[in-house]
Amino acid sequence: MATAAADPQQAAESSEPPNGDLVVAEQDRLRVEHFDPPKAIRNWPEPSEKTRLSWDERRKMRCHELLKPEFVGARVQIWSVFTNDPTRRHKIRSAGRICDEAVVWDFDYHTMPGHVVVSKYDVEGSLKYRIAIARPASDATIRQPSIQAEEGTLDFEWRSGDYSGSSYNATSVTRVRVREPA
């Protein structure tokens, strides 16, 4: 059974990052749903419910237009370069990202324990900001299709749960809002 709670507060302020320094952002919880028992989201057959909830095909395809491997033909690609950067100086790790029309989003769950570091780049590869957002639970990940940035805020959903066989067992979904650095 799902339960929901709402917090109508406005988005928390973040300070401006000097030269791309990491800013720890506060988040406002807009809605929390807990599932007891956990909600089973099936991985199979394709296309699965999990695919629709976790995968944003349009944004992933946009990344193929905006980014290319740093070294063509290399067996392992650690870095990608921005196709709109003629200098090829701007690069990004080759995992954990989605792309909008004019923005590349990167998600790093390892740099800062208990947080996800979200980096925003323009299509030429210039870093706009890096913010660290505290994870509401150790297993929480950002549901990438939920990310929306408009009017200076970043809205998205955290999803918590675990994998069991061919299912993802969701225990909670938390909708939050973060103020983007100026």
DSSP string, 63-112: HHHHEEESSTT-SS--EEEETT-TT---EEESSSEEE-SSEEEEEESSSS
pLDDT digit string, tens, across residues 14-29: 333 345 688 899 999 9
Summarize the confidence of residues 112-119 as an average pLDDT.
Answer: 94
Count CB neighbours of 106 within 10 A.
18
pLDDT of residue 155: 96
Would you say residue 154 has pLDDT above 90?
A: yes
Which residue is associated with the tokens 């028992």? 37
Residues whose CB is less than 8 angstroms from the CB of residue 38 and which lie 6 or more positions away in sequence, other chains included: 161, 169, 170, 171
Provide the whole-model pTM: 0.80
Rounded to an integer, what distance in angstroms lies between the CA atom of residue 77 and that of residue 68?
Answer: 10
Would you say residue 2 has pLDDT above 70?
A: no
pLDDT of residue 135: 94
Amino acid of residue 135? R
pLDDT of residue 70: 86
Q: Percent of the chain, pLDDT > 70?
A: 81
Phi, psi of 52 (to 5 degrees): -65, -35
Q: What are residue 91's DSSP bridge partners? A: 81
Query: How many DSSP H helices and E strands does the chain contain?
Result: 2, 14
pLDDT-derived band at 99, boundaries 50, 70, 90: very high
Owning domain of residue 118:
2-179
Total domains present in the chain: 1
Q: Measuring CA to CA, which residue among 145, 96, 155, 141 is closest to residue 121?
A: 96
pLDDT digit string, tens, across residues 34-65: 989 888 876 555 554 545 556 678 898 999 99
